[in-house]
Structure 1
Amino acid sequence: MSSTPGSGEAGGLFAALRTSAVTLVATARTRIELAGNELAGERIRLVRLLVLGIAALFCVGVGILLLVGLVVALAWEQRVLVLGGFAAAFLIAGGLLFAAMQRANDRHQVFAATLAELEEDLRQLRAATGHGKKAD
């Protein structure tokens, strides 16, 4: 049997396509594994923060209640003034802590490493295909 003209080129093209597909799948698998690792690490970090935060809040809350009770007992004649002062202080502190919590939560970006790797992949693909070039 004789080969038709261009059959070697078609085989080379299909081989190149297969190689590209394998590379693409391997890259996608690596990125998905990276995302999974980051997700697992993030879950562990959040659970640890939650447990430590709840324990700290409980201890501080009990301590504050005991301190307020002590101050009220020592200044029994001005108990309304003392309780009002403590209430105002706690409301102000709660508002400040809530604002700090919002700022801290805004700064953390989940999957930062995965997003960085995907951006680099996209940049390399654009450079390889010529889509990343800007017209001057």
Structure 2
Amino acid sequence: MSDQESAPAGLLAALQRLGSHGLELLQLRLTLLGTELEAEKLRLTQALLGVLVVVLMLGAGLLMLSVTVLLICPEAWRWLAALLLACGFGLGAWLLWRRVQADMSAPGGLFATSLAEFQRDRDAMEQR
């Protein structure tokens, strides 16, 4: 009779351990997810500040270049120089915009490490 009484207690203990391990695994994965979110936030903030500095410096440099080119050109051709500068700036802006779009749509994405860990967990559970 003691064998029959110990079997449910052993099963209950095994289920409790399994639940405890499952919750521990979930806690670890959520911690990893939070860490990735924090790193992504820092990366984005750093990128935005870098872009702001680059835009300000590029704007000042282009303004000085434009003024220099317009002052060097003869008065009769200044309108053409201004038009060519505007077209060049427009083309440069378009090319930079395309590059930014390509960088933002690069593979990897947000939470790539967490998703890979969840996939490893699923694969490990399917093998059992």
| TM exceeding 0.5 | yes
User: Who is 1:132 aligned against?
Assistant: none
Indicate yes or no: 2:100 matched with 1:101: yes
Indicate yes or no: 2:102 matched with 1:89: no
Letter in 2 for 1:50: L
Cα distance in 1 for partners of 2:98, 2:4 equals 69
Indicate yes or no: 2:20 matched with 1:22: yes
Question: What aligned pairs does 1:1-136 form with structure 2 within 5 A after superposition?
Answer: 3=2, 6-75=4-73, 76-107=75-106, 108-128=108-128
Cα distance in 2 for partners of 1:86, 1:10 equals 83
Tell me how many residue pairs correspond in the alignment: 126
Cα distance in 2 for partners of 1:86, 1:7 equals 89
User: Taking CA–CA contacts closer than 8 Å with sequence separation of 6 or more, which of the two structures ends up with the larger relative contact order?
Assistant: 2
Deviation at 1:6, TM superposition (A): 2.6
Cα distance in 2 for partners of 1:49, 1:120 equals 31
What is the DSSP-based 3-state SS (H/G/I as helix, E as strand, rest coil) of the residue aligned with 1:6? helix
Spell out structure 1 runs of 4+ moving beyond 3 A: none
Q: How many percent of aligned residue pairs carry the same amino acid? A: 26
Structure 1, unaligned runs of 5 or more: 129-136
Cα distance in 2 for partners of 1:126, 1:77 equals 78
Structure 2, unaligned runs of 5 or more: none
1:62-107 Cα distance to aligned partner (Å, 9 max, x none): 1101110110111132111111111111111111111111111111
1:35-60 Cα distance to aligned partner (Å, 9 max, x none): 11111111111111111110111011
Cα distance in 1 for partners of 2:61, 2:89 equals 13
TM-score (normalised: structure 2):
0.92
